[in-house]
Structure 1
Amino acid sequence: MIPLPLDELRGLGDLDGEGEATGLTIDSRTAGPGDLFVAVRGGRAFVADARKRGAATLVPDDEHAALAAIGRALRSRSEARVVGITGSTGKTSTKDILAALCAAVTRTVATRASENAELGVPLTLGRLEPDTELCIVELGMRGFGQIAELCAIARPDVAVITAIGPVHLELVGSIEGVARSKAELVAALPEGGIAVVPRSAELEPHLRSDVDVRRVGEVDVELSEDGARIAFADELIHFPLRSRHQAQNALTALTAYEALGLPLERLQEGADRVELSRWRGEELALPGGGIAINDAYNANPTSMRAALEHLAGLGAERKLAVLGGMAELGEHAARYHRELGTLAAELGIEVVAVGELAREYGAPTWVPDAPAAVAAARERLSPGDAVLVKASRALALEGVAPALANAH
C-alpha cells in the first residue's frame, strides 16, 4: 500500500499506532506489522488480536466514514488512472476480464471478487502501491446516490457501464431510474474523461458532451468447446469463455482497454489469463458426462434470460434449471418471474423452482430451499444432462451445483 501517516487518521476514532501504515485490512487474521486494522462490524472483538500481530488499529466512530476518509487519502497519493465499473449485469465479470487484459501490460490493481461497496472500494484503494499505474474499481448500487458517494472516494478517470436493465426496481422504480443511478459514474468523470457504455435509450440523456463516449455494440463471436473468438480491432481474440453473454462482457472490456491506449498487439496475452470470479458460470462435470453450470452468485431478469438461452444452446439432449427467485423487483416481480418461466418452457428447459419468489415461475416442481433443490435435481438428472443453477444471493444456491457434481 502507498504509505499513509497514521497521524492523518486521528479524529476518525480510537487509533492505536505510530508512524505509517503500509497495508489496510478489516480481517485481523491477515493483519501484521505495518498494517492498519480497521475494526468494522464485529471487528472490535479482534482488536487485541490485531495488535498482538503487530498491526496498528482503528476503532472508528463511523465505519463507512472512516474507510471513506482512508480511501480518499490513498487515492490522493496515487498517480494511477482509475477505471470505475458498474452496470445492471456483468460488472464483476467485465472487471475480471479487463483486469486480466491490463495486468499483462501495466501494473494493475483491481477489486477482488465483488468487494464493490462502502467497505470494498476503500479496501481496493488500500492495495495501491507507489508504482501502480491502473486501478480498476467495481462500484455496486442499491439506490440513488450510492455510486456518486463511491466515486467521491475513487475519483474515476474512466467510466465503464456494462448494461442497463431491470435491477433494484424496489429502490429506483424503473429502468429509467436504473440508468440515472448508474450514470452517476459518468457524472463523476473529469472533463475529457472516457465513458464506455452500452447502447441504451435510457442512458443517452445522462451522457456528457465533454466526455469521450465509446458505445459498445453487439459482440461478433464464434463460440466453441474451447472458448470464444471475438472480433475486435481486425483480429480474432480468443477467450476461455463459453457463453455469448460473457463474450459481450469481454467486448466491453476490450473497448475499455483500447480506450486506455494500451497496446492492441498484446491483447491475446491478457485474454489467455482471464479467470472469472466464482459462481459466475462455473462449469462442473457431472457423473455420467453431464455438466452443471454454477451461476448462483446473483440473478435479475436480464442475466437469467441470458443464462437460460446459454443452457438451451448446449449440446445436451435434456436441460434442467434450478432457479431461485430474483430479488428487489418490487411490483414488477411477479411479471418478470412469469415471463422467464414461459421462456424456459419455450426453450424446452425443465425448471426446479426454489423459494417463495420462485413460485411465480409456474414450474410444476417447487422446493423451499437449497437442500431440497439438490434432492429434486438428483431425482431428475440422468447421465449427459445439463443443469443450470441460478438465483439471487439470498437463496444461497451456490452449493447446489457442487453437490450434484460430487454425487456418487
Structure 2
Amino acid sequence: MTGPLWTAAQAAAATGGRLVGGDSWQASGVSIDTRSLEAGDLFVALADQRDGHDFVPAAEKAGAAASIVSREDAGTGARLVVPDVLEALQRLGVAARERSKAVRVGVTGSVGKTSVKEAIAAVFRASGPAHWSVKSYNNHWGVPLTLARMPQGTARGVFEMGMNHAGEIAALTTQVQPHIALITRIAPAHLENLGSMEAIADAKAEIFAGLAGDGVAIIPADCEYAPRLCARVNESGAAFLFEFGRARHAAVRILSWDQQATSGRGRFDVLGRMVDISIPAPGEHQAHNAAGVMAACVAAGIDSARVADVLAGMEAQAGRGASFMIELDGGSARIIDDSYNANPVSMASAIATLARHTPEGKGRRIAVLGEMLEIGESAPERHRELAAPLVDAGVSAVIGVGAMMEHLMSALPGSVKGAMAASPADATDRLCAMLRPGDVVVIKGSNGSGVHKVVASLRNGAVNAVIKG
C-alpha cells in the first residue's frame, strides 16, 4: 500500500505555511476544482477566473483533507495558511520534484504538444510508475499542479508547457527542470502576441533554459527554424541534442511513411536501428509526432521496440482526429472531430485528412471550419490560403464560423459552396440541414471559435443522430 501524497508536516515545510485547524491530516491528491475533487484531496484555493476561497466550504463538504488558503477565515476545517496560494502551489511542486528520482520530460511546441505528451505518457505507463499532465494542464497553474501531484515513487514523468507570451515557458521549465526537453514544431500560433516566427521559436526554446544537468534537447530537424533552435540549445546547459524528422542527420529519422485515411505506417531509423511504426490514427502529422515521441522515450531509457508497440495501440483522441458515425435516413455520415484548436499548419493537416477519406455513394466532403485566432496581421491572408487545399481535397461545401472566415469565403471558387454561420449553433443547424448518407465531415477551428460545440451537438443527438462509435 502506498503512503500519502502529502502529510500536513510535509506540505507545511514545502510551502512555509501555517497549519490551522489540524496538523495530522494526510492528502492523497491535490485539487483546484471542487467539481472534480475527491475525498482526501488537498484543495488549493487559487484565485483565477473565480476566487477559490469561496469554494473552501464546498471542498470541506466533499471530504478535502485540508485547504491551502491565504485567508484563514475561508473555512473551518484543516487549513494551510500561506501569503500567496499560487506561490505555495509552486513551492509544493518544486518539493515534489526534489524528493523524486523521476526522469522528467518537458514538451512544448506550436502544434501537437498535447498529442505528443499523451503518447509519451502512454509509453511511460507501459514502462513503470509514470506521471503526466492531465488534459492540457500546461500553464502557470497547470504545471505546478501537475508537479505537486507527482508521487515520490514515479520513475518517469512528462509535463506539457504552453505559452501566449515570451517568458512564460522559461518560468515553467525552471519549475520542472526537465532532463529531456522536446519542441514538437514551430508554427504561426500566438503570432499576434509575439510578432514574428523567430520570436515564437525563441519563446519555445526557453524550455531548454531549465534543463537539468546532462540534459537532452530534442528539436524538429525539418523545421526552417532548426538552426535557431540549435543556437538556443548551445546557449543552454544541454549535454546532448537529438533531432527528429526526415533530414539525413536526424537521430530519429523517418525513412518512409504511408498515411491512409485512418492510420499510417512506416519505418524509422532510430540511432541506427531500423524500427517499423504503425499509428492507428489519421493525419499527415502522425509520422512527425511519432518521431518526436520516439526520440523522447529513447532518451528516457526505453527500448525503441517497446515505444513502437505502444504507439501501435494508441487511438485518436476526441478533438484531435477521432471520428464517429451518425445515422441518417438511408445511411450514415462520418464526422472527423479535429476541433481542438487550430493554426495554419494544423488546419492544413485536417484538410489533408479529409482528402484521404472517400465518401460513399453520393456522399461529399464537407468542412466546418472555425476561424484561426492569435495569428497576427497575416490572419486575413492565412484564411484565404485555405481555399486552395480545400479545392485540392475535393471539398464540396464549407461552413465558416467567426469573422475571419469571411476571408476564406471570398476566396472559394464557385465549385465549393461556402456559407457563414452566425454561431456554432447556427453551424450545427446548417450542417444538419445539408447532411446526407455517405458524407464525410471534418470539424476544425480555434477553441475560441466554438466549433467543438458542433461536435458536442452531433454527439448529443442533433439530426436525431445515433452514435455508432
* TM beyond 0.5: yes
The CA distance in 2 between the partners of 1:29 and 1:243, in whole Å, is 34
Contact 1:96-1:275 at 8 Å conserved across structures: no
Instruction: Tell me what 2:258 maps to.
Output: 222
The CA distance in 2 between the partners of 1:145 and 1:13, in whole Å, is 31
Instruction: Tell me what 1:26 maps to.
Output: 32
Secondary structure in 2 aligned to 1:207? helix
Q: CA distance change for structure 1 residues 389 and 18 in 2, over 3 Å: closer, same or farther?
A: same
Deviations 1:277-335 (A, max 9, x none): 43111101132233111111100111001111111121126211111111111211111
The CA distance in 2 between the partners of 1:251 and 1:100, in whole Å, is 15
Are 1:331 and 2:371 counterparts? no
Q: Which has the higher contact order (CA 8 A, sep 6+)?
A: 1
Q: After TM superposition, list the pairs within 5 Å mapping 1:114-125 onto structure 2.
A: 114-125=136-147
Structure 2 runs not aligned, ≥5 long: 71-82, 247-253, 413-417, 465-469
Q: After TM superposition, list the pairs within 5 Å mapping 1:271-286 onto structure 2.
A: 271-286=311-326
Q: CA distance change for structure 1 residues 32 and 305 in 2, over 3 Å: closer, same or farther?
A: closer
Contact 1:102-1:270 at 8 Å conserved across structures: no
The CA distance in 2 between the partners of 1:369 and 1:14, in whole Å, is 49
For 1:280, the aligned partner's letter is R
The CA distance in 2 between the partners of 1:277 and 1:77, in whole Å, is 33
RMSD (CA atoms): 2.3
Counterpart among 62, 78, 82 of residue 104 in structure 2: 82
Q: CA distance change for structure 1 residues 17 and 147 in 2, over 3 Å: closer, same or farther?
A: farther
Question: How far did 1:264 drift?
Answer: 2.6
Instruction: Tell me what 2:444 maps to.
Output: 390
Question: How far did 1:197 drift?
Answer: 0.9
Counterpart among 205, 220, 224 of residue 201 in structure 1: 224
Deviations 1:24-71 (A, max 9, x none): 111234545643111123322221232341421112454432321221
The CA distance in 2 between the partners of 1:271 and 1:160, in whole Å, is 18
Comparing 231-240 with 7-16, which one deviates more in the overlay? 7-16
For 1:48, the aligned partner's letter is P
Q: CA distance change for structure 1 residues 391 and 12 in 2, over 3 Å: closer, same or farther?
A: farther
Instruction: Tell me what 1:252 maps to.
Output: 292
Are 1:297 and 2:336 counterparts? no
Secondary structure in 2 aligned to 1:270? helix
Contact 1:230-1:251 at 8 Å conserved across structures: no
Instruction: Tell me what 1:235 maps to.
Output: 275
Instruction: Tell me what 1:157 maps to.
Output: 179
Question: How far did 1:12 drift?
Answer: 5.5
Deviations 1:158-195 (A, max 9, x none): 01110001110111111101100000011221342111
Instruction: Tell me what 2:121 maps to.
Output: 99
Q: CA distance change for structure 1 residues 50 and 334 in 2, over 3 Å: closer, same or farther?
A: same
Contact 2:178-2:210 at 8 Å conserved across structures: yes
Question: How far did 1:13 drift?
Answer: 8.3
The alignment covers a number of residue pairs equal to 408
Contact 1:281-1:294 at 8 Å conserved across structures: yes
The CA distance in 2 between the partners of 1:162 and 1:238, in whole Å, is 19
Contact 1:284-1:401 at 8 Å conserved across structures: no
Q: CA distance change for structure 1 residues 10 and 373 in 2, over 3 Å: closer, same or farther?
A: same
Q: CA distance change for structure 1 residues 285 and 15 in 2, over 3 Å: closer, same or farther?
A: farther
The CA distance in 2 between the partners of 1:336 and 1:383, in whole Å, is 32
Instruction: Tell me what 1:110 maps to.
Output: 132
Instruction: Tell me what 1:351 maps to.
Output: 398
Q: After TM superposition, list the pairs within 5 Å mapping 1:127-138 onto structure 2.
A: 127-138=149-160
For 2:234, the aligned partner's letter is R
The CA distance in 2 between the partners of 1:72 and 1:239, in whole Å, is 35
Secondary structure in 1 aligned to 2:127? coil
Comparing 271-280 with 121-130, which one deviates more in the overlay? 271-280
Contact 1:221-1:244 at 8 Å conserved across structures: no
Instruction: Tell me what 2:58 maps to.
Output: 49
Secondary structure in 1 aligned to 2:451? coil
The CA distance in 1 between the partners of 2:88 and 2:127, in whole Å, is 34
Q: CA distance change for structure 1 residues 381 and 87 in 2, over 3 Å: closer, same or farther?
A: same
The CA distance in 1 between the partners of 2:60 and 2:390, in whole Å, is 54
Question: How far did 1:10 drift?
Answer: 5.6
The CA distance in 2 between the partners of 1:13 and 1:293, in whole Å, is 51
TM-score (norm 2): 0.81
- The percent identity for this pair of structures is 35
Contact 1:192-1:212 at 8 Å conserved across structures: yes
Contact 1:14-1:59 at 8 Å conserved across structures: no
Question: How far did 1:138 drift?
Answer: 0.4
